[in-house]
Amino acid sequence: MAAIRSNHDSLARHQLHAFDQLCQEISVSDDDRRKVLLLSPEEWSAWQRVRDGGPLPVAPDVPMMLLRLGSAAHRLSVAAERARVA
């Protein structure tokens, strides 16, 4: 069970880092990042602590957050590509 938790922890941190890199590249503000991930200000603060090496928050749970990160990254990438082409 500890190995699964460690894998979830590592995967969540990696995906959050990749999302942050994408947002930096296309100049998405922290508040807009929070909104696109459908997080309350409290949830966003908890997930920001993860970026600094803190523990994973209880809510939203890791599977839900991974879905949100993937969906948001896709939508932001598509929007950035459309803006670049236009």
In whole angstroms, what is the distance from residue 86 CA to residue 84 CA?
A: 6
Distance of alpha carbon 12 from alpha carbon 54, whole angstroms: 12
Between 71 and 53, name the one with better pLDDT: 71
Number of residues assigned to the chain: 86
Percent of the chain with pLDDT over 90: 74
54 by Cβ neighbours in 10 Å (0-12 / 13-18 / 19+) ranks as exposed
In this prediction the pTM is: 0.86
What percentage of the chain reaches a pLDDT higher than 70?
93
Query: How far apart are the C-alpha atoms of 28 and 17, rounded to whole Å?
Result: 14
Rg (CA), the chain: 13
- Is the model's pLDDT at 74 over the cut of 80? yes
Look at the block and give the residue holding tokens 């879905």.
Answer: 67
Instruction: Enumerate the domain spans of the chain.
Output: 2-85
pLDDT at 4 over 70: no
